[in-house]
């Protein structure tokens, strides 16, 4: 999570969150859906972008996933310092929007804006890599699966910051007992990533996530992403075809990388709604359908 678009976007106000904040397995968690266990026995762990529960968008999207799949959806509060403050987004917009003309006032405005961003962004960039809290995420995911009724499955959705741990969870088993790990069932039954970051530096993670336990793996890719874009997705797909073959082939591996043309990093969560950006708003809706249909297919 290191490009300017990780800190840009719009806060949503088209709805109010319907879920609750609870302590689940020792972690403060937003819980959406699950009121009708007869519809689904499964759960989705939603690993958010860097804004986490401080950004209402993540709660609203969790509500949509719950409504669309019938699954209970959990957003654990595991991002460094509870997540970034959404007030950073308009400041980053000012910083990244070119001035119409060069003026001293315009330059000073950008400098002063940059100075207000530094106290929040620098610590986050230094200390917020998801690897630092991954053991906590893994324990949480195992506990969620252990609590499910017979036949229940666990899906994981990761966005930007959350895509790295969501991918890594796909190679884990339900038990932490190394003596019986080979015989233990897989932990994750379906995975979805939206505009991922970090994994662009470790593409082998994606190959392992798909190959080891054949976890169905879906990604919403922004064409104009500064990180995991069309070119990077094509490289990973090419490697997958070499290692495991085509999706749905003899290897039993299932994967998809769906490209959203014209979209930028952050579109799955922070695209402007009902404003001025039809391309990214359309991508937001498309990625939401992609995730819901994927989880509904493989968890229910």
CATH number of the domain enclosing 154: 3.40.50.1820
Q: What pLDDT does residue 16 have?
A: 97
Burial of residue 209 (number of CB atoms within 10 Å: 0-12, 13-18, 19+): buried
Q: What is the mean pLDDT of residues 276-289?
A: 96
Query: For residue 22, what pLDDT is reported?
Result: 98
Instruction: Give the pLDDT band (50/70/90) at residue 182.
Output: low
CA–CA distance, 234 with 104 (Å, rounded to integer): 44
Residue 116 pLDDT greater than 90, yes or no = no
Q: In what order do the strands lie in the sheet with 154-159?
A: 20-24, 27-32, 72-76, 43-47, 154-159, 190-194, 217-222, 255-260
Which pLDDT belongs to residue 98?
74
- As for how many domains the chain has, the answer is 1
Confidence at residue 198, expressed as pLDDT on a 0 to 100 scale: 81
Considering only CA atoms, which of 254, 264, 190, 255 is closest in space to residue 221? 264
Return the pLDDT at 177.
67
Question: For residue range 66-75, what is the model confidence (pLDDT) as tens digits?
Answer: 999 999 999 9
Enter the pTM of the model: 0.94
Backbone CA torsion sign across 268, 273, 276, 279: positive
Q: What is the pLDDT of residue 20?
A: 98
Instruction: Find out whether 10 and 121 touch, Cβ atoms under 8 Å.
Output: no
Collect all residues with Cβ–Cβ distance below 8 Å to 278 and sequence separation of at least 6: none
Domain around 120: 4-299
- How far apart are the C-alpha atoms of 97 and 166, rounded to whole Å? 32
């Amino acid at each position: 999570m290191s490009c300017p678009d990780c800190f840009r976007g719009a806060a949503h106000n088209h709805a109010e969150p319907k879920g609750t904040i609870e302590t689940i397995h020792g972690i403060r968690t937003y819980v959406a859906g699950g009121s009708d266990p007869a519809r689904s026995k499964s759960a989705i762990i939603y690993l958010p972008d860097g804004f986490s529960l401080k950004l209402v968008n993540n709660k609203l999207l969790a509500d949509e996933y719950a409504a669309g799949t019938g699954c209970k959806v959990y957003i654990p509060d595991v991002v460094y310092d509870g997540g970034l403050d959404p007030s950073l987004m308009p400041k980053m917009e000012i910083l990244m929007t070119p001035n119409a003309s060069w003026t001293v006032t315009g330059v000073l405005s950008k400098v002063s804006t940059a100075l207000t961003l530094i106290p929040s962004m620098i610590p986050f960039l230094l200390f917020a890599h998801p690897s630092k809290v991954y053991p906590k995420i893994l324990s949480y995911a195992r506990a969620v699966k252990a609590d499910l009724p017979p036949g229940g499955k666990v899906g994981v959705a990761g966005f930007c910051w959350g895509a790295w741990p969501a991918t890594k969870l796909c190679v884990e088993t339900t038990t932490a007992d190394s003596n019986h790990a080979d015989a233990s069932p897989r932990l994750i039954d379906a995975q979805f990533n939206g505009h991922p970051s970090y994994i662009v530096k470790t593409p082998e993670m994606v190959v392992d996530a798909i190959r080891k336990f054949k976890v169905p793996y879906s990604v919403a890719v922004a064409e104009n992403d500064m990180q995991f874009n069309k070119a990077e997705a094509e490289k990973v797909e090419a490697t997958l075809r070499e290692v495991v073959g085509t999706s749905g082939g003899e290897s039993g591996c299932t994967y998809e990388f769906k490209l959203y043309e014209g979209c930028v990093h952050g579109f799955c969560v922070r695209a402007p709604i009902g404003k001025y950006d039809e391309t990214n708003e359309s991508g937001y809706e498309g990625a939401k359908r992609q995730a819901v249909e994927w989880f509904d297919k493989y968890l229910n």
